[in-house]
C-alpha cells in the first residue's frame, strides 16, 4: 500500500534542487512505495529528475520560483508563504495534497509557516523541534525542544515530555521510554522553578506510557541511559551545537593525529575499520530529520548542509511518522493525562522564576 505522498521543498538547503531530488530518489530506491510532490522551479526539477528514472512515475511537480533565503527573518518569510516553495510544501499538508512536508530551508521560517498553516494540536500550547542523536546504547536519544521556543514554562515542558515519549515509542520500540528533564544536576533542589514544577507534574501523573526518571545532565545525554531529553529551545539548541561541535572536534583531532607522521599513517591503516565505524556513527546525515512535534500534520526539517543520504533519511523519518500515526499517538496520550493532570496554568512556574543553581 502506498503512503500519502510527501511534499519536498526542492529549493531549500545549501545545494537546493539537485540534492533534494537525489535524496528523494535514494529514499524511493530503499522504499518503492514513496510518492512525492516536488515544489520549486519546474525546469530545474525536471532536469534533476532526468538522472533518476525511478522518480518519474512517482513524482508530481508544483512550479514555484520564489525561495525563502537562509538568513531571511521568519516574519518576512511568513508574508510570502503563499508564493514560496517552503510555504507551498507546508500548505500541501494543510490541504491534504500531501501527508507530510520535508524542507532543508530556514528553520525559523519553516516553524512559523508550519504553525500558521497547521496550527497546534488540541492540548498543546507550543510545538517543539525534536531530533535524534546517537548514543553509546542500543537506541538513539530524542531531544526536544531544539530551538522552536527560546523559553518554556512547566506546562510546556510536560507537554514536550508527552510528545517526545510518543515519538520515542515509534523510533525505539520501547513501550515506556525513559524520559528526563535537562538540568545542571540530578538533585531535586537543582534548576529553575519551572523544571522542578514540571518534574513534580510528571512524577505525579498516572497512565502515561513513559518512565520519568527525573533529571539528566548534559554530559550524560549520549550515554544511552535515557531515551528522551526534555528542555527549552534555548538550552536545547546550545546543547545540540556543543555536541555537534565536539563530534567534529574529535574527528578532526583523529584526522590530524593520523596524518602527523609516517608511523601515524601506518597506525591509521591498522585502525581504519574502527575509525570508519566512528565516522559513520558521528555522521549527522545518518541522524538527519528533525520533527516539529505538536502540529496537526507532519513537518520534517532536514539540515541545510545535508547530503542526498541525509535528505533520504529525513524523508524516511516523515514516512515512518505517517505510518505509525504520530499525531494520533500524542492525542491519545494527552487524553490520558487530561486537563486535571496539567495543573500548571500557562505562565506559572515558568520562564521568569529562578531556583537554586
- pLDDT tens profile 139-192: 889 999 888 888 889 999 999 999 999 999 888 888 899 999 999 888 887 778
Q: Which of helix, strand or coil describes residue 325?
A: coil
The pLDDT score that the predictor gives to residue 248 is 73
The pLDDT score that the predictor gives to residue 113 is 92
HSE of 347 in the Cβ direction (CA atoms, 13 Å)? 0
Q: Domain 128-284+331-341: which topology?
A: Isopropylmalate Dehydrogenase (3.40.718)
Q: Does residue 228 contact residue 196 with C-beta atoms inside 8 Å? A: no
**Alpha carbon distance 171, 4 (integer Å):** 20
pLDDT for 120 beyond 70: yes
Structure confidence by residue, pLDDT tens digits, 201-213:
888 877 788 899 8
% of the chain beyond a pLDDT of 70:
84
Q: Is 50 exposed, middle or buried (0-12, 13-18, 19+ CB in 10 A)?
A: exposed
> Would you report the helix, strand and coil content of the chain in percent, each value rounded to 5?
50, 15, 35
Q: What is the mean pLDDT of residues 73-78?
A: 89
Structure confidence by residue, pLDDT tens digits, 280-308:
555 666 677 889 999 999 999 988 888 88
Computed from CA positions of residues 52, 57, 62, 68, in that sequence, does the dihedral angle turn out positive or negative? negative
Q: What one-character DSSP code corresponds to residue 142?
A: E
Q: What one-character DSSP code corresponds to residue 222?
A: T
Q: What is the mean pLDDT of residues 20-48?
A: 90
Place of cell 502540529: 295
Structure confidence by residue, pLDDT tens digits, 15-26:
889 999 999 999
Q: Return mean pLDDT, the chain.
A: 83
pLDDT for 258 beyond 70: no
pLDDT for 263 beyond 70: no
Domain definitions of the chain by residue range: 1-118, 128-284+331-341
Of 38, 46, 47, 48, which Cα lies nearest the Cα of 88? 38
The pLDDT score that the predictor gives to residue 269 is 61
Confidence of residue 268 (pLDDT cuts 50, 70, 90): low
% of the chain beyond a pLDDT of 90:
32
Place of cell 512524577: 203
pLDDT for 246 beyond 80: no
pLDDT for 108 beyond 80: yes
Predicted TM-score (pTM) of the model is 0.81
Architecture per CATH, 1-118: 3-Layer(aba) Sandwich (3.40)
Q: What is the mean pLDDT of residues 42-46?
A: 93
Amino acid at each position: 500500500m502506498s503512503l500519502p505522498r510527501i511534499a519536498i521543498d526542492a529549493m531549500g538547503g545549501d545545494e537546493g534542487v539537485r540534492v533534494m531530488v537525489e535524496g528523494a530518489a535514494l529514499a524511493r530506491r530503499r522504499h518503492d512505495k514513496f510518492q512525492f510532490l516536488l515544489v520549486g522551479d519546474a525546469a530545474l526539477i525536471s532536469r534533476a529528475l532526468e538522472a533518476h528514472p525511478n522518480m518519474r512515475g512517482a513524482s508530481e511537480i508544483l512550479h514555484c520560483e520564489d525561495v525563502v533565503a537562509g538568513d531571511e527573518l521568519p516574519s518576512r518569510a511568513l508574508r510570502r508563504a503563499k508564493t514560496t516553495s517552503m510555504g507551498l510544501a507546508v500548505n500541501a499538508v494543510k490541504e491534504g495534497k500531501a501527508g507530510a512536508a520535508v524542507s532543508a530551508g530556514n528553520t525559523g521560517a519553516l516553524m512559523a509557516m508550519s504553525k500558521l498553516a497547521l496550527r497546534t494540536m488540541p492540548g498543546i500550547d507550543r510545538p517543539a523541534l525534536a531530533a535524534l542523536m546517537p548514543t553509546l546504547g542500543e537506541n538513539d536519544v530524542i531531544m526536544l525542544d531544539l530551538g522552536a521556543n527560546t523559553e518554556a514554562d512547566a506546562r510546556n515542558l510536560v507537554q514536550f515530555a508527552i510528545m517526545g515519549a510518543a515519538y520515542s515509542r515509534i523510533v525505539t520500540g520501547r513501550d515506556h521510554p525513559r524520559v528526563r528533564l535537562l538540568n545542571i544536576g540530578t538533585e531535586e533542589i537543582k534548576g529553575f522553578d519551572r523544571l522542578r514544577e514540571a518534574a513534580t507534574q510528571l512524577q505525579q501523573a498516572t497512565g502515561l506510557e513513559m518512565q520519568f526518571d527525573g533529571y539528566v545532565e548534559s554530559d550524560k545525554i549520549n550515554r544511552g541511559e535515557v531515551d528522551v531529553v526534555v528542555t527549552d529551545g534555548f538550552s536545547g539548541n546550545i546543547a545540540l551545537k556543543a555536541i555537534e561541535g565536539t563530534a567534529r572536534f574529535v574527528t578532526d583531532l583523529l584526522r590530524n593525529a593520523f596524518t602527523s607522521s609516517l608511523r601515524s599513517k601506518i597506525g591509521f591503516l591498522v585502525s581504519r575499520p574502527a575509525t570508519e565505524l566512528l565516522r559513520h556513527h558521528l555522521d549527522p546525515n545518518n541522524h538527519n530529520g528533525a520533527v516539529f512535534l505538536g502540529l496537526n500534520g507532519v513537518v520534517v526539517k532536514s539540515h541545510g548542509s545535508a547530503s542526498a543520504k541525509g535528505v533520504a533519511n529525513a524523508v524516511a523519518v516523515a514516512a515512518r511518522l505517517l505510518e505509525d500515526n504520530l499525531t494520533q499517538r500524542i492525542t491519545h496520550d494527552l487524553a490520558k493525562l487530561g486537563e486535571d493532570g496539567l495543573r500548571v496554568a500557562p505562565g506559572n512556574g515558568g520562564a521568569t522564576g529562578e531556583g537554586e543553581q
